[in-house]
Chains A and B, each alone.
Chain A
Amino acid sequence: MSHDHHHGPTIDPERLAYYQRMATAVRELLIEKGILTDAQIVATIKKMEARGPALGARVVAHAWVDPNYKTRLLLDGSAGVEELGIPVDGTRLIVVENTEEVHNLVVCTLCSCYPRNILGLPPDWYKKAAYRARAVKEPRAVLAEFGTVLSDSVTIRVHDSTADMRYLVLPARPAGTEGWAEDKLAALVNRDSMIGVQAAKEPEQ
């Protein structure tokens, strides 16, 4: 490499202004040509903002309390999620289950494919080179950086996403949550546990 790019992209104000102008120009031209409307753009942003990890947490909590649902969800993630009224818009969703023996981790090495209909937009680190490059090579070290230290006896499976095939991790249900209602369980499920870099939260003692 001719230069050090490991610190990731830095925002250069002049360059940013250039690409923001490009974005404004493209948007205005598409609107003027009648291809898009401003209202459609606003509505699309609203729809995007309404999607976030709370949707995924609902799916996970439901799978924890309903074994038949879990079976269906693991067989066909898209259908399982749609069963709860969450649209997946044509992408194939695969749900992978964490157990005592197996831990799953999701990455998109080539870009940033992510189950955005269920988790919202991905975190910055998911899209940056360090995570994409290393997750498939040294997942244990990557997990440790997120505070997740797994025993050597646990098999780690890393799933590399594509635009048409995206993954959601079904984290293991924490001990001590027997008999909990779905809402209470869902509060233990955060975004990172559904990417697989962390476990679900433990119930507070």
Chain B
Amino acid sequence: MKRGVHDIGGLPNNQIDQSEHDYALWEKRIDALLVLLASEKQIMRVDELRRGIESLDIDAYNELSYYERWIASIAKILVEKDVITSTELEARMAEISTRKTTS
């Protein structure tokens, strides 16, 4: 069976980069979205977040940073569940890019 993009346990890899960064507000907000959607609202589960992440194509999986993968997955799952539509998501993203400063 072919390994999924996320299934990397035991594969060779490089030295561990031990540098750390403080989480930025946008990252904390994405984390909070998932916590609320999963625990409080029970709209999507952590398993579904994982499925969304693991179904990214390999380049996206390897290139995106951690919370970029999360929001890509959250958006995908919410569209799947008809909580939001892809049309309104795209429209809102386009509108946000015309704002002077994004919040």
Contact = CB atoms under 8 A, between A and B. Distances in A.
* Chain A bound to chain B: yes
Interface of A: 3, 5-9, 11-12, 15-30, 33, 35-36, 40-41, 44-45, 48-49, 89-90, 107, 109-112, 121, 123-125, 127-134, 136-137, 142, 145-146, 160, 163
Contacts of A45: 28-29, 31-32
Given A15-B63, A109-B8, A128-B17, 5 more contacts: A27-B33, A110-B6, A110-B7, A124-B66, A133-B9
Q: How large is the interface on B (under 10, 10 to 19, 20 to 34, 35 or more residues)?
A: 35 or more
27 contacts: A9-B63, A21-B96, A23-B67, A24-B102, A26-B89, A30-B83, A30-B84, A35-B43, A45-B31, A45-B32, A48-B31, A90-B39, A110-B6, A110-B9, A111-B53, A121-B23, A124-B17, A124-B20, A124-B66, A125-B16, A125-B19, A128-B16, A129-B13, A133-B12, A136-B9, A136-B10, A163-B46
Contacts of A131: 16
B89 A22 contact: yes
Interface of B: 6-21, 23, 26, 28-33, 35-37, 39-41, 43, 46-47, 50, 53-54, 59, 62-68, 71-72, 74-75, 78, 83-84, 88-89, 92-93, 96-97, 102-103
